[in-house]
Structure 1
Amino acid sequence: MTVDSDSGQPIGSVALPSPANNAILPEHEPRIPLSRAQSIRNSIASEHFFEEDVTEPTGTTLSSTINLANTILGSGMLSMPNAMAALGLVFGSLVIVFSACMSGMGLYLLSRCARRTPGRDSSFFAVSKLTYPKAALFFDAAIAIKCFGVSISYLIIFGDLMPEIASALGFPTQLLLSRGFWITVAIVVLIPLNFQRRLDALKYTSFTALLAVVYLFVVVAMFYFTPTRKPLPKGDVVLFKWSKEFFTHLPVFVFAFTCHQNIFSVYNELRDNSSKQVNGTIKLSIGSACAVYQWIAILGYLTFGSKVAPNLLTMYDNGPVITFCRLSIAILVLFSYPLQCHPARNCLDKVITGIWRACSKEPTFEAIVDEDEADNAPSTIAASDEATQAPVVHVMSPAKHISITFGLMLLSYVVSMTVTSLDLVLSFVGSTGSTSISFILPGVFYYKMHQNTRWTRMKVVSVLIALYGLFVLVFCLGANISRVINGDL
């Protein structure tokens, strides 16, 4: 008998009744527990299935780690040395490690919440409907907006980098020097990637993108250890530095480790999604990202000192090595776009479906309630550390999948063509959206799902992480607002 590791309650299952109305479920597919059937019926407007809606999980620890690491390691790498320069060598390193640990803990709490959703259909929406059902649509809308904003920044970075690369390679034609042309090329190239239903299908492009990280890793070291490097002024590099700039740079560290929007897809698609495998994926992705950030931040800061720019690549002289490095970063951000489009599409699907149900007054999930409010009946939502024996169900219809994806791509294309800089916007995204999905939501979700249990170490940690998220939200958002008011852009 499988027992819930958190509540100690047994987990039972009943075979799924035969689907009606031409539902298609291959006979060789394993039968789904009744709780899973209830989840599916509550997740879609009809009870019709298509063969493509039910698939076997294919993710591995390696492929999932690659996708999560690629979600983390984006353009934030280039701003790490500048953020460290604002805090000092030792203090900056400690903040990187602290941010990595807090981000990893947020991922762990979300993975524990995923185990309380039946089968392999976990999502922010599913967890929200079990905890705070009235706020579920708001949560998903906020996550979709955050992912959409980051995807726009990737298109803008790609559009800014490619004209410089074309000019350095000796192709100074007017067309190749146009950022609009390269953004258009990016959207066309991304079409087959953005329409993938499974996150695991992006593992090869994510691996290709991570090769760019390796190259940047080598370039930063090469320029630091070169004998022709100019010595820094005495005292330019400090160990500890404290100023009000800490609150404007802290969102950079928070934003740099944000990959929580994809943890539910990783949980759903892992072939073995037991606690051991999920935790291993989290540790590998966060640990490798932390090591890369430390390396680039420390060597970049030691190379240029307090004069290091927010974009590290602008500090190096133009040459074949740096040109190829810019090209590799352009490929990195290009292949990172689908990793933002995937969760944004899923969240928008839940928002649209939720609004439709509200208008049509269809039944929905019931929230977890206190024991006193339910005649002292214990919660029936259990968690297991074992792998979930159920297929992955994609409940989004093909028409909705295509229309939402096309809408996201079109809107991001229009915005990226008209907006030239998102530095300040990303600061706000880091202090609001990234903070919410990294700390606040994991903390409050975990606490709500364990409100009827005794106070454990993890329950205390969940409250502390939520409070930390609120701290970052209030103080860092206030610092950035003050920055706008004072014109310090």
Structure 2
Amino acid sequence: MASYTAIRADSDDVHSRPGSSSSSSRGRRTPRGRKDVGHIGQASWVSSVINLLNTIVGAGILAMPSALSHMGIVLGVFVIIWAGMTSVFGLYLQTRCAKYLDRGTSSFAALSKLTYPNASIVFDTAIAIKCFGVGISYLIIIGDLMPGVAMGFSKHAGNVSFLVDRHFWITAFMLVVIPLSFLRRLDSLKYTSVIALISIAYLVILVLAHFIKGDTITERGEVRVFRWAGPVPALASFPIIIFAYTCHQNMFSILNEINNNTHSRTTGVAVASIGSGCALYILVAITGYLSYGDNIKGNIISMYAPSIASTIGKAAIVILVMFSYPLQVHPCRASIDAVLKWRPNRSRPSSADVSPPRAPLLGAAPQHPIHKHEMGELRFATITTIVIIASYVVAMTVSSLEKVLAYVGSTGSTAISFILPGLFYYKISAPDSIHHQRLLKEDDDEESEEDDSDPEGFATGLRGRLGLGHKSWRKTLLRRLSLALAIYGFVVMGVCLGTNTFLVASH
């Protein structure tokens, strides 16, 4: 992999630009005059991509071949790409929304206070439930797979009762994930994320190896290329693909911690992460489906004949979810903290009440806004402990959460990926919004630079054909697309809830 130190050189370049100061982390200005708050911006571009990609690619990759069997190869690949495009657009809107907040303070809670203050508790509750539910599923996966892993590595493991006991393995792995869950910064998890991605790489190689070897041909059923299995099976598989890209709960943490938060760099993180996940999904979906055809099951790894390679594959899944668990605790903790702090606004907030903190006046006493936004040590430890204990208790007492997580995913994941980014950007970028006035000059500067680099007048002609003003065409188009994404999210939520209620639950 690329050297982290080489990438981190970008942070030194930021400090050397006009309007910035390397001598103090307080009140540091970015090239466009926005303020960095506190000791932040230490994560490299590579580590940001790794952490986000690890949030995206999880055990859901194993269900991609099954989804393809219901849709057919052509339609299935199209849906995988479409889901990736809509998800990356949601991430892009989050990067745009972060521009309205001071550096290091970006979060769903902060945007809720600026846009829909009285509804922020609903948004944070949805995020907390989603992340909490996914964390429980990770613990259940560990409990389900580890007995088989133990049996695969030792034939005598069955004679030792606790080695095939799911409760023992959940408890044992909690001792590993607990210290990781208490880390404050996502960038601290970059090395565990590397290990998790290595596990994903092994799974991909395992599926490819069986496909190339052709040792599953005798078990292969019909292969659908253009034909699908029907609207009901295809619709039932649609949520699997949609939710496989959910990573938006960690995007604001990535934006807060990346050392160079220029628009091109943050957009690059989103595109690189979603693009890499999309490529892996398509690769595993096609090769896994061609290995078994319509005889494929939900988890392709479980279909391979018992061997050292397949046992290692199961162990790789365990390692993957083990290191993904802290990535769910991080946003869950922040959302619970926001819910506990929520107070209804009984009057219309003024610009002074809702505007992000400004730079201190010249000669004023030094301010450190980051300390105002960070949780205290006791509060941080208490919320984290409650989340860990609660998820542990549920995972120990419930062996199957498929139906529960289907409803949680249908609401929480869809809200995080599509509805919230779309609604937040549409609201905060309104021309009459007091927050929008802060960025008018910046957008004008960007358009001036664009026109200078467009001597042929192509951009100007395009704006005219779209019927948009010279200075607002990009903002207007983006606002329309953000509203369309939010509406799309509501439609997906209704479809997924309907599918789980009337189709999946009935079987």
TM norm. shorter chain > 0.5: yes
Of 400, 407, 414, the match for 1:428: 407
Please, which of 451, 454, 464 is the counterpart of residue 484 of structure 2?
A: 464
Which amino acid counterpart does residue 407 of structure 1 have in structure 2? I
What is the aligned counterpart of 2:27 among 21, 28, 31? 31
Cα distance change of structure 1 residues 391 and 213 upon mapping to structure 2, 3 Å threshold: farther
- Which amino acid in the other structure matches residue 241 of structure 2? F
Quote how far apart the aligned CAs of 1:139 are: 0.5
Correspondent of 1:93 among 51, 68, 77 = 77
Paired residues for 1:49-128 under 5 Å: 54-128=38-112
On the 8 A contact 1:131/1:367 being kept in 2, the answer is no
Quote the offset at 1:467 in angstroms: 1.3
- Structure 2 residue matching 1:55: 3-state secondary structure: coil
CA contact (8 A) 1:152 1:413 kept: yes
Amino acid at match of 1:334: M
Q: Distance in 2 between matches of 1:227 and 1:177?
A: 32
Residue 233 of structure 1 and its aligned partner are, at CA, apart by 6.3
Cross-structure match for 1:226: 213
Is 2:254 aligned against 1:275? no
- Amino acid in the other structure paired with 1:399: L
Are the equivalent residues in 1 in contact too, given 2:426–2:479 (CA < 8 A)? yes
Distance in 2 of aligned mates of 1:231 and 1:456: 56
Q: Do structure 1's residue 419 and structure 2's residue 398 form an aligned pair?
A: yes
Residue in 1 that maps onto 2:383: 404
What is the CA distance between 1:232 and its match in structure 2?
6.4
The aligned runs of 1:170-319 (5 Å cut-off) are 170=154, 171-172=157-158, 173-231=160-218, 235-241=222-228, 242-319=230-307
Structure with the bigger percentage of helix:
2
Query: 4+ residue stretches of structure 1 with deviation over 4 A?
Result: 231-235, 379-383, 390-394
Q: Is the 8 A contact 1:159 1:180 kept in 2?
A: yes
Partners of 2:150 and 2:80 lie apart in 1 by 34
Is the Cα contact below 8 Å between 1:159 and 1:182 reproduced in 2? Answer: yes
Q: Deviations over 1:298-334 (max 9, x none)?
A: 1111111111111111111010000001101100000
Closer/same/farther in 2, CA of residues 235 and 323 from structure 1, 3 Å limit: closer
- Larger CA deviation: 279-288 vs 418-427: 418-427
SS of aligned partner of 2:121: helix
Report how far residue 381 of structure 1 moved. 7.3
Question: Distance in 2 between the 1:280 and 1:271 partners?
Answer: 14
SS of corresponding position for 2:494: helix
Which residue pairs with 1:139 in the alignment?
Answer: 123
Q: Percent identity?
A: 42
Is this contact kept in 2: 1:368–1:449, CA < 8 A? no
Q: Distance in 1 between matches of 2:350 and 2:81?
A: 36
Looking at structure 2, the residues matched to 367 and 351 of structure 1 have their Cα atoms a distance apart, in angstroms, of 22
Task: Give unpaired runs (5+ residues) of structure 1.
Answer: 1-12, 16-26, 34-38, 41-52, 370-378, 384-389
Structure 1 residues 295 and 473: CA distance shift in structure 2, 3 A = same
Q: CA 1:98 to 1:445, structure 2 compared with 1: closer, same or farther past 3 Å?
A: same
Q: Which residue of 2 aligns with 1:6?
A: none
For the 8 Å contact 1:64–1:200, the answer to whether it is kept is yes
- Range with greater deviation from structure 2 (317-326 or 422-431): 422-431
The AA in structure 1 aligned to 2:45 is T
Match of residue 130, structure 1, among 93, 110, 114: 114
Q: Over residues 336-363 of structure 1, what are the superposed CA-to-partner deviations in whole Å (9 max), with x where a residue is unaligned? A: 00000000001111111225xx5xx9x9
Letter in 1 for 2:275: G
Q: Which runs of 5+ in 2 are unaligned?
A: 1-18, 30-34, 359-367, 433-471
Cα distance in 1 for partners of 2:400, 2:107 equals: 32
1:60–1:270 contact (8 Å) kept in structure 2: yes
CA deviations 1:204-248 (Å, max 9, x no partner) are: 000100001110111001001114332566743332314122322
SS at match of 2:272: helix
In the TM superposition, what are the counterparts of 1:284-363 in structure 2 within 5 Å?
284-355=272-343
- Counterpart CA distance in 2 for 1:29 and 1:381 is 18
Hey, what's the Cα distance between the residues in 1 that align with 2:73 and 2:503? 24
Partner of 1:373: none
Offset at residue 154 of structure 1 (A): 0.3
TM-score by length of 2: 0.79
* Separation in structure 1 between the aligned mates of residue 348 and residue 383 of structure 2, nearest angstrom: 24
Give 1:148's aligned residue. 132
Cα displacement (A) at 1:392: 5.7
Q: Give the corresponding residue for 1:481.
A: 501
**What is aligned with 2:362?**
none
Task: Say whether the 8 Å CA contact 1:120–1:391 is kept in structure 2.
Answer: no
Please give the alpha-carbon distance, in whole angstroms, between the structure 1 residues aligned to 2:316 and 2:348.
Answer: 45
RMSD: 2.8
Asked whether the 8 Å contact 1:129–1:367 carries over to 2, the reply is no
Q: For 1:365 and 1:174, how far apart are their aligned partners in 2?
A: 62
C-alpha distance in structure 2 between counterparts of 1:29 and 1:230, whole Å:
61
Read off the aligned partner of 1:94 and give its amino acid letter: F
Q: CA deviation at 1:61?
A: 0.9
How far apart, CA to CA, are the structure 2 residues paired with 1:140 and 1:333?
23
Q: CA deviation at 1:251?
A: 1.0
Q: 1-side partners of 2:356 and 2:336: how far apart?
A: 26
What letter corresponds to residue 351 of structure 1 in structure 2? Answer: V
Q: TM-score, normalised by structure 1?
A: 0.82
8 Å CA contact retained: 1:130, 1:368: no
8 Å contact kept, 1:130–1:366: no
Which residue number in structure 2 is paired with residue 23 of structure 1?
none
